[in-house]
Chains A and B, each alone.
Chain A
């Protein structure tokens, strides 16, 4: 299990290849990547991501352990950036490996649901009209219910 919280960009291909190379007899690797999306064409100047150093790493570690307890997984990788990002930048990624694809897919889905609402990150959208904190969506909180 690896958790990285960093300001610097990450190399998605390099990370996935290195993750895959570390696995032993896993039939499936699933990855998800989150990318900064523009609001309307050209409006978003930046996405500023704040986090809670110390708690962030603990919370992500706990979410990864919960996934490992729940599904038959080989490994979990979570990378999440903070600081000032611009449209098309990669914000974060998760990778899971498992003997079979259903476990890898479900665990990645679970990681994303929990990471959105239970890891201490906050996003602020900066436009030429000013800056606003992104509000949590009710749907994101409700998404946790399906995991029981």
Chain B
């Protein structure tokens, strides 16, 4: 699946998107997997309360299932308007 990052999450990880092959069943499992990869992921995902997630471009929670999902995005709370 494609994993996208926005705002300071993108800056901490150092890229806007990447393709991830994963067996993670939920967003939370995906986060755990990414955290274990490198320090920059651990830094970006240090505090899940400070993050929001979208699954296939819809806001979701960290327990959302990833079966058949094409795109997951992580970002801070939105500041539009």
Contacts and interface: CB of A to CB of B under 8 A. Distances in A.
Interface of A: 34, 50, 52, 54-55, 58-59, 80, 91-92, 112, 115-124, 133-136, 141
A117 B77 contact: yes
B8 A120 contact: no
A63 B73 CA distance: 20
B79 A116 contact: yes
Interface string B41-81: 00000000000001001110000000000000101111111
B79 A52 contact: no
Contacts of B57: 52, 54-55, 58
B7 interface: yes
Interface residues of B, number: 17
A33 B79 CA distance: 16
A115 B80 CA distance: 6
B54 A136 contact: no
B6 A52 contact: yes
Given A52-B73, A58-B57, A117 B78 contact: yes
Contacts of A141: 77
Contacts of A122: 6-7, 75-76, 78-79
Task: Kindly list the 3 A-B residue pairs having the minimum CB-CB distance in the complex, ordered from nearest.
Answer: A136-B77, A121-B80, A122-B7
Contacts of A133: 7-8, 76, 79
Contact of A120 (B10, B54, B81): B54
B36 to A, nearest CB: 26
Contacts of A116: 78-81
A132 to B, nearest CB: 9
A123 B54 CA distance: 18
Contact of B79 (A55, A112, A134): A134
Given A52-B54, A54-B57, A34 B75 contact: no
